[in-house]
Structure formats: structure tokens, C-alpha cells
């Protein structure tokens, strides 16, 4: 703490001085250009603002040696080139209104910042005018010279950070920087589906094309869906649902994947505000809240969401990199994202990701394909039939006498040839409607899996996982209708909070009361907890309140209490659902299938795992080489 500060002398007063323009540009460049991907972002955004219909990006050594961006946009006049390299010179705004912004760029800092830390050259030609070029190195600008090129602009940035070599030490490997460039271009390509993009690595002896996207045709949403299918793959496209909602002048659109198509990290979450790619904590939290009880903690949703609002309703001038935004009414925007995603996911009912069917198909192996080289199958890796039967009998509920021999209506006893194979029940082939989405139950295997026949294939259902989700949704519906029962505390618990937190909690008191948590101001920065949710049992009220205030301060909303109540309901649903090993009658199995078809989110259990898998007749025939 007492170490001397080398830049400030205790014996003399420091003198205030004006930094020269080159130093000021290098300082500004540190905020605008963090790495090669930042330079690509700025240059491609300039091309999009110029009305380009095709943009070509090339790099060498991860962008450290070369970044080149070529577009067919409006171009610049020869006399405009020196002005384009001056700080805070821009064609996007006139400076009178910093809120009504309709373009990507507006600060006028990108080109002079790049020229301050690298060797920058610009060639440009506007339609009906001669082409021209200019170069700048380390902040020193050269003269304007004639250039031969078609309409548009070609920008080449060489030896990035050569003027600030210390920054080079913080660069990652060429491969990591190249990956960051590709990620930036993919995000911008999502924002502009009607624009064609190419990305190439020209650092080797032979140029290597990394990405090629043709301009998509059709109306905006059709073009966006086609672009997302190319960038994120067919599995995402098959699992995605369309999102469209509007509230108080804010419009939400895009695509969100079903919960059964989830990722191990947040690598497929793309957010855009008025067409601008952003990484906004509020919106990411809203997305996570919408999938709250549909995914386990270690899984992440996949979505591409566009928020469009009046430019004056959002501040994009928060940071020079323009990756952060600030909404005038953040609560309304967050509520729109959460409600729209939840509503769209609920409308999908029992649907699950189509990729699961292909995964199931790939799990099948032809007879003898997996036989070990020694000729024998080795030791069995599964419990014996007797052990399974004993375990199932221990947890199965008592059956009525008429079910004792499996003779429920429509249920036939398994033939003697099936003894010990795991076939729990076989059903009359005429029972149940095969034209229903999940078909008609035909058999129960291993006391847990229902085999249903559909009009064009078959469905395998995990009876415990499926019923667990049905019971959980039923409990949530009852909670929504009747509210959460509150358990009054004999002695109210007084919780002391940080400055401002008591007022923040008071604003949410009514919402918390609906969830069973009753709090009242207790003077100063303290609140009195008078009741807690009965479903939680004995609870540390002070810790619960502090968790809620932390989440409110961080995200503007809190799901802590609701999530804890949902966890209790989920455990209740698990214990109250059909257990593995329970033999079910034909009526029970078909009733389960029909309820799944009518229940939101029944395509996945409470832990985010799929509840059913479908195989088409074509898939089955392919297994037997009939196609």
C-alpha cells in the first residue's frame, strides 16, 4: 500500500499536457480494436452500412499479418478519403442526435484507430467517379493516389499492432484468432441474410476458403431461416421453432431450439438489437429464465433472437466496441423475451428434437456386427432377468386381482417363447388409434418402455420420464390457479440489507407474496419476513431474501424463489409418477400417450432428457436393407 507510484512525484506538482494525435489514436484503438476479430467486425459493419450486397474477407496468420475486406457498396470520393481517416468523422450521423441511430457505426473511430496501430490502405470508388487510394502507417497519412477498381471499397490492414508491440504479447494463437474472426463474421451474416459473405485464409501457399454464404432470397424471415440452416446446421433447423411477439413497441423475432436440442455451453446463443450483434447480460438471463425448468443446470439453450425497437428506446453508445446496449425499459424487454419463449415452447406440446431419432437409429447394429474377435459375447454387462424382476417387484404398486395375470382389457399375456426377454406386456393389435401423433400402444418392454405404432412408423416412450413431466405440469397448473400456500412464521425474521436493497424488494413484494414469501419494511435497510412458502418446509429466510436481492440487483428480476418451488414440485412429480417396472394396461398406456400429446413440454422430462423417440417406417426398413 505504501509503495511509491513512479508516475507521480511527491515533491512536485504534475503538469497537465495535451497528448499528440498519434498517442490519442493509439489509446482510442485500445478500446475499439482489442484483437484481429474486432478489426474485422468494424470493417464489415462499415461495408454493411455502405449498402454492400457481397463482402469478401481474407486474413493471414489469424489476422495479425493481414486483414482484407472487399465490398461492392457505395464507395467514397477521392476527397473523402483523408476525412475518413480523421477521428470522429462519419457519414452515419450529423451529430445532432446521438439516440436516433440507424446504422452499425456512428462514432467515426474505427479507421483512424486501425491506422494508428497497423499499416492501413484504403481503395475506393463511388459510382460515376474515379477510384482512389490512401495509406496510413502508425498514424502517418500518405497522399491520395489514383486506383483502378470497380465500385466499392477494398481495405487492407497489415501488421496489426506493429505500432504497439506490447499488445501483440496478449494475442492468442493464430488458430484461436482465426476462430474468433469466423465467429464474428457468422454473427454479422445472421444479421444480414440478403448479403453474400466469403471468408478465406490466405496465409499459406494456397488460399483456403473457410466460409461461403450466398445471398439468401425471399422475404426476411424465410431468408433468415435459410441462413441459419447453413450456419448452424440441419439439426438446429429441424429443432427450431419460430418466435414472433410484440409488446409496447418492442418486437421479438427469430428462432429458438427445443429443449431436447441443448448444448454443453452457451455457444449457440445469438442476440441482435436493431440488427446489431450484442452480448447483453439482461437478454441472456431472460433466455435462461425462459428455459428454466426445461433444462438441467449444465445444459444451455440454443436460440437466435432479434429485438427491434425505436432507436431512441435503446442506447448503443455504451462502449466504443458497441457490443453492449442499455434499454430505456429493461423490465419490459426482459418480460417479452421470457413470455414469448415460454409461450412458443409450450405450443410445441410433446414435440422433441428430430435429431434424437437419427441418434436412436445409429444405435442399432446388424446381427453380428458387434461380435468380439474371440467369437464369444463375453460376460453380460446387464443385470440378470431375475435381479431385474426382483427390483421391479419391490417398487411396483399392488395390482388389482383382475390384473394379476396381465389380463386387463386389450392386454394379452406374453407367449411362453418370450419368457425372460423383458417383454412385460403385449397388446391386441387393434387397440388404440395409430393415426394419433404418438400412435397406439402395442407393447411394454422391460417394465419401462412403451412401444407404440404410428401411421408411418413407431414410437418408444420412457413411461416414468413422460409421466413425471405430466404430473409436474399438472402441479404447476394448480400452483398458477391457486397460488403458493404460505407458512406464517411464529416470530418474524428480521433481515438487514445493503443500502437500496430494501426499496428494491418492496417493489417486488406483491410478486413475492404470490409465491408465498411475505415481507414488510422494518425501518431503515431492514425487512421483516412474516411468511415463507409452505412447500419449502424449514427454510433459511435470511439467505433466501439475500439470494433474491442479489439476483434482482444483477438482472433486474429474480427466479430464485420460483425455481426453488419448482424444484420441490419436480421432486413431488418424480415420487408421484409411474415407476419403472410397473406393468401398465392398454388403457393406461394409451391414456399416457394421449395426455402427452395434450401437455406442454412433454417431449422432455423434468431433467431435460427426452421422453420419447420416433422411428419412421423408412428408417426401420433401412435397418433391414429393404431400401
Q: Are 453 and 442 in contact (CB under 8 A)?
A: yes
Pairing state between β 411-412 and 326-327 = unpaired
User: What residues does 454 pair with on adjacent strands?
Assistant: 457
* Cβ neighbour number for residue 505 with a 10 Å cutoff: 22
The confidence score (pLDDT) of residue 529 equals: 92
Containing 90, the helix (H) or strand (E) segment is: none
Task: Assign 55 to helix, strand or coil.
Answer: strand
The confidence score (pLDDT) of residue 338 equals: 92
Task: Assign 504 to helix, strand or coil.
Answer: helix
pLDDT (tens digit, 9 = 90+) per residue, 435-466? 888 999 999 998 899 999 999 899 999 999 99
Distance CA 597, CA 603 (A): 9
Q: What is the pTM of this model?
A: 0.74
Pairing state between β 240-247 and 250-257 = antiparallel
The confidence score (pLDDT) of residue 162 equals: 76
CA Rg value for the chain: 31
Q: Are 9 and 299 in contact (CB under 8 A)?
A: no
The confidence score (pLDDT) of residue 400 equals: 44
User: What residues does 616 pair with on adjacent strands?
Assistant: 457
The confidence score (pLDDT) of residue 102 equals: 65
Which of 252, 213, 251 minimizes the C-alpha distance to 229?
Answer: 213
Q: What are the grid coordinates assigned to 318, written together?
A: 455504451
Domain 21-213 shares a fold with domain 220-347: no
Q: Are 193 and 217 in contact (CB under 8 A)?
A: no
DSSP state of 139: T
Distance CA 158, CA 67 (A): 6
The confidence score (pLDDT) of residue 380 equals: 42
Distance CA 559, CA 547 (A): 10
Q: Are 249 and 313 in contact (CB under 8 A)?
A: yes
Q: Which residues of the chain have pLDDT under 50?
A: 1, 369-382, 388, 391-392, 394-421
Containing 18, the helix (H) or strand (E) segment is: none
DSSP state of 16: P
DSSP state of 124: E
The confidence score (pLDDT) of residue 268 equals: 92
- Domain 21-213 falls under CATH 3.40.50.1980: no
Q: Is 63 left (phi over 0), alpha (psi -120 to 50) or beta?
A: left
The confidence score (pLDDT) of residue 415 equals: 46
3-state secondary structure 375-407: CCCCCCCCCCHHHHHHHHHHHCCCCCHHHCCCC
The confidence score (pLDDT) of residue 411 equals: 43
Fold of 470-575: Ribosomal Protein S8; Chain: A, domain 1 (3.30.1370)
Burial status of residue 302 (CB atoms within 10 A of its CB: 0-12, 13-18, 19 or more):
buried
How far apart, in Å, are the Cα atoms of 129 and each of 52, 71, 125? 18, 17, 7
Cell 431472460, residue located: 286
Q: Are 230 and 257 in contact (CB under 8 A)?
A: no
Torsions phi, psi for 467 (to 5 deg):
-70, -30
The confidence score (pLDDT) of residue 282 equals: 86
User: What residues does 567 pair with on adjacent strands?
Assistant: none
- Each domain of the chain, given as residue ranges in start order, spans 21-213, 220-347, 470-575
Q: Is 541 left (phi over 0), alpha (psi -120 to 50) or beta?
A: alpha
pLDDT (tens digit, 9 = 90+) per residue, 534-551? 878 888 888 888 888 888
- Domain 220-347 falls under CATH 3.30.230.10: yes
Containing 482, the helix (H) or strand (E) segment is: helix 463-482
Q: Which residues contact 386 (CB under 8 A, 6 or more apart)?
A: none
Which of 216, 231, 219 minimizes the C-alpha distance to 183?
Answer: 231
Amino acid at each position: 500500500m505504501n509503495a511509491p507510484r513512479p508516475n507521480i512525484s511527491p515533491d512536485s506538482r504534475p503538469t497537465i499536457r495535451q497528448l499528440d494525435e498519434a498517442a490519442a489514436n493509439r489509446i482510442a484503438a485500445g478500446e475499439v480494436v482489442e484483437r484481429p476479430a474486432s478489426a474485422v467486425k468494424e470493417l464489415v459493419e462499415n461495408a454493411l452500412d455502405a449498402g454492400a450486397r457481397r463482402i469478401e474477407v481474407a486474413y493471414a496468420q489469424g489476422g495479425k499479418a493481414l486483414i482484407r475486406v472487399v465490398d461492392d457498396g457505395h464507395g467514397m470520393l477521392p476527397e473523402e478519403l483523408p476525412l475518413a481517416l480523421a477521428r470522429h468523422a462519419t457519414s452515419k450521423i450529423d451529430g445532432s442526435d446521438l439516440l436516433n441511430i440507424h446504422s452499425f457505426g456512428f462514432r467515426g473511430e474505427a479507421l483512424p484507430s486501425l491506422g494508428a496501430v497497423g499499416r492501413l490502405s484504403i481503395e475506393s470508388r463511388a459510382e460515376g467517379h474515379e477510384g482512389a487510394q490512401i495509406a496510413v502507417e502508425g498514424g502517418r497519412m500518405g497522399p491520395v493516389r489514383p486506383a483502378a477498381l470497380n465500385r466499392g471499397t477494398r481495405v487492407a490492414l497489415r501488421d496489426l499492432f506493429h505500432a504497439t508491440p506490447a499488445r501483440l504479447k496478449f494475442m492468442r494463437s493464430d488458430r484461436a484468432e482465426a476462430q474468433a474472426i469466423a465467429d464474428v463474421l457468422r454473427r454479422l451474416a445472421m444479421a444480414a441474410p440478403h448479403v453474400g459473405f466469403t471468408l478465406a485464409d490466405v496465409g499459406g501457399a494456397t488460399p483456403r476458403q473457410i466460409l461461403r454464404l450466398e445471398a439468401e432470397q425471399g422475404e426476411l424471415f424465410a431468408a433468415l431461416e435459410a441462413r441459419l440452416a447453413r450456419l448452424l446446421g440441419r439439426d438446429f433447423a429441424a429443432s427450431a421453432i419460430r418466435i414472433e411477439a410484440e409488446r409496447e413497441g418492442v418486437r421479438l423475432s427469430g428462432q429458438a431450439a427445443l429443449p431436447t436440442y441443448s448444448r454443453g455451453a452457451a455457444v449457440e446463443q445469438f442476440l441482435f438489437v436493431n440488427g446489431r450483434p450484442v452480448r447483453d447480460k439482461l437478454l441472456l438471463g431472460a433466455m435462461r429464465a425462459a428455459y428454466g425448468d426445461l433444462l438441467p443446470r449444465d445444459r444451455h439453450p440454443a436460440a437466435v433472437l432479434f429485438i427491434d425497437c425505436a432507436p431512441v428506446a435503446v442506447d448503443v453508445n455504451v462502449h466504443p466496441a458497441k457490443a453492449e446496449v442499455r434499454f430505456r425499459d429493461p423490465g419490459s424487454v426482459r418480460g417479452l423475451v421470457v413470455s414469448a419463449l415460454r409461450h412458443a415452447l409450450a405450443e410445441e406440446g410433446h414435440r422433441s428434437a428430430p435429431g434424437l431419432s437419427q441418434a436412436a437409429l445409429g444405435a442399432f447394429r446388424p446381427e453380428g456386427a458387434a461380435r468380439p474377435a474371440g467369437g464369444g459375447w463375453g460376460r453380460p454387462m446387464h443385470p440378470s432377468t431375475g435381479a431385474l424382476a426382483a427390483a421391479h417387484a419391490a417398487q411396483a404398486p399392488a395390482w388389482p386381482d383382475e390384473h394379476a395375470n396381465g389380463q386387463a382389457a386389450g392386454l394379452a399375456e406374453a407367449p411362453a417363447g418370450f419368457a425372460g426377454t423383458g417383454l412385460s406386456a403385449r397388446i391386441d393389435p387393434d387397440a388404440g388409434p395409430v393415426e394419433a401423433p404418438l400412435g397406439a400402444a402395442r407393447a411394454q418392454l422391460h417394465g419401462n418402455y412403451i412401444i407404440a405404432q404410428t401411421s408411418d412408423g413407431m414410437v418408444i416412450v420412457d413411461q416414468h420420464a413422460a409421466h413425471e413431466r405430466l404430473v409436474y405440469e399438472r402441479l404447476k397448473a394448480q400452483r398458477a390457479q391457486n397460488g403458493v400456500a404460505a407458512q406464517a412464521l411464529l416470530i418474524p425474521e428480521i433481515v438487514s440489507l445493503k443500502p437500496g436493497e430494501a426499496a428494491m424488494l418492496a417493489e417486488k413484494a406483491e410478486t413475492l407474496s404470490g409465491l408465498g414469501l411475505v415481507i414488510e419494511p422494518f425501518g431503515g435497510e431492514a425487512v421483516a419476513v412474516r411468511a415463507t412458502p409452505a412447500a419449502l418446509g424449514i427454510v433459511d429466510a435470511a439467505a433466501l431474501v439475500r439470494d433474491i436481492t442479489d439476483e434482482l440487483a444483477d438482472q433486474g428480476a429474480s427466479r430464485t424463489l420460483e425455481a426453488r418451488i419448482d424444484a420441490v414440485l419436480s421432486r413431488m412429480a418424480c415420487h408421484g409418477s409411474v415407476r419403472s417396472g410397473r406393468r401398465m394396461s392398454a388403457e393406461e398406456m394409451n391414456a399416457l400417450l394421449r395426455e402427452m400429446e395434450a401437455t406442454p413440454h412433454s417431449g422432455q422430462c423434468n431433467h431435460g432428457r427426452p421422453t420419447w423417440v420416433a422411428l419412421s417406417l423408412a428408417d426401420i426398413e433401412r435397418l433391414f436393407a429393404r431400401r
